[in-house]
Amino acid sequence: MEEVSSRRSEDLATDRRGLKVLTYDECLERVAEAPLGRVAFEHEGDVIIMPVNHVVDGMAIAFRTTWGSKLQVAADSGRIAFEVDGHDTTSQTGWSVLVQGSATLVYEAADRDRLDRLGRSSWAPEVENMFWVRVLPESVTGREILSASPE
Amino acid sequence: MEEVSSRRSEDLATDRRGLKVLTYDECLERVAEAPLGRVAFEHEGDVIIMPVNHVVDGMAIAFRTTWGSKLQVAADSGRIAFEVDGHDTTSQTGWSVLVQGSATLVYEAADRDRLDRLGRSSWAPEVENMFWVRVLPESVTGREILSASPE
């Protein structure tokens, strides 16, 4: 995995937008804790965003889905993004972590079994043609809004 | 806006993944009610997902951001996606609405003033070089998980 800039940042570093920069470890913690993430990828000129129940598998993020063919095309032609976020409407605070990398379908039975054992199955109904997809992160960045905007 | 298939669906229609198909009106209601959405677009070969505080402006969705230049490139070269979702961890249920369209920067003062008056400002700190971006929807689709997966 590429060294990412947030890894070298101080805890209270802010970016040019005035947002707190999350450290690499904070980003990974939030990915691991989030019950739900979202993936986005380009497919035939359209950008698609879909929620997924993910698991952390070593350095990778994995999820089950039926869109094997779409994601295979995405993996061949470009990159994929994975995001988790959280917010508090009352305090108008929130955070997000963006993971960018390439997606591959998981074909090996041993890998599929290990992912099945990681346990958090998809909330969506079980249907045929479900695939495990693994995202290998090349960039991991996170931002947090610490307080409400003055207005 | 294009007529979308979900508009003609029955309330309890399900897709091939066993998910309830939200009607067009249900999709718009959920977009309007959500305090936070996410946009995704392709930029220089990468897919970016970022949370935004959005407003509904007639048939369009608008939000303030500092990434004018990135989004302008995205608008020139491809399409953008906007997503809102919600979930309940206990019941393992959730829903999501995906809006696909093209993004344009809002230059006209009258338009910017109207968007400012729509009132929900960004939670992020106010910084210079904030732009209003408008997404003109070409496709609006939504899905809901009504009950937990059997396992």
Query: Taking CB atoms and an 8 Å cut-off, how many pairs form between chains A and B?
Result: 145
Question: Which pLDDT band, with edges at 50, 70 and 90, does A41 fall under?
Answer: very high
Q: Among A80, A121, A123, select the one facing B145 at the smallest CB separation.
A: A123
As a whole number, the mean pLDDT across chain A is 82
Any chain B CB within 8 A of the CB of A27?
no
Tens-place pLDDT, residues B30-65: 999 998 999 999 888 889 999 998 999 988 999 988
Q: What whole-number percentage of chain A has pLDDT above 70?
A: 80
The reported pLDDT for the residue numbered A86 is 94
Tens of pLDDT, residue by residue over A82-133, are 999 999 888 888 999 999 998 888 889 999 899 988 866 677 777 777 788 8
- pLDDT attached to residue B9: 42
Q: Is some CB atom of chain A closer than 8 A to the CB atom of B79?
A: yes
Chain A from 101 to 120: CB within 8 A of any B CB: none
Nearest to A124 among B79, B81, B145 (CB): B145
> What mean pLDDT is predicted for residues A129-142?
90
| CB–CB contact B66 A16 (8 Å) | yes
DSSP 8-state code for residue B9: S
B31 touches chain A (CB under 8 A): no
| Contacting residues of B for A48, CB less than 8 Å apart | 81, 98, 100
Q: Render pLDDT for B122-134 as a digit per residue (tens, 0 to 9).
A: 777 777 777 888 8
CA-closest candidate to residue B59, choices B141, B142, B135 = B135
- pLDDT of amino acid A31: 97
A94 in B contact zone (CB under 8 Å): yes
Per-residue confidence (pLDDT) for residue A10, from 0 to 100: 46
User: Across residues A59-78, what is the average pLDDT?
Assistant: 74
What is the reported pLDDT for B73? 62
Three-class DSSP labels, A92-124: CEEEEEEEEEEEEECCCHHHHHHHHHHCCCCCC
Give the pLDDT band (50/70/90) at residue B3: very low
Check residue A62 and give its pLDDT.
92
pLDDT in tens, B68-107: 667 666 666 568 999 999 998 888 889 999 999 988 888 8
- Which of A21, A39, A47, A66 should one mutate to test binding to chain B, selecting the residue with the greatest count of B CBs within 10 A? A47
Q: Is B96 on the interface with A (CB under 8 A)?
A: yes
CA B49, CA B64: separation in Å to the nearest integer? 15
Residue of B17, B64, B67, B146 to mutate, testing the A interface (most A Cβ within 10 Å of its Cβ): B17
Higher pLDDT, A30 or A15: A30
The pLDDT value given to residue B16? 76
Q: What is the pLDDT of residue A104?
A: 86
pLDDT value of position B104: 86
| pLDDT confidence tier of residue A19, bands split at 50, 70 and 90 | confident
Nearest CB neighbour to A123, from listed B49, B50, B93: B93
Least confident of A21-30, A46-55, B3-12: B3-12
pLDDT at B27: 97
Question: What pTM was computed for the model?
Answer: 0.85
List Cβ<8 Å contacts ≥24 apart for B56-59: B56/B28, B56/B31, B56/B32, B56/B118, B57/B114, B57/B115, B57/B118, B57/B134, B59/B1, B59/B136, B59/B137
Quick one: which H or E segment has residue A49?
strand A46-52
Q: Is B138 on the interface with A (CB under 8 A)?
A: no
Share of chain B above pLDDT 90, in %: 40
The C-alpha of B41 sits at a distance from chain A's nearest C-alpha, in angstroms, of 6
Q: What is the pLDDT of residue A144?
A: 94
Q: Given an 8 Å threshold on Cβ–Cβ distance, is A16 in contact with B40?
A: no
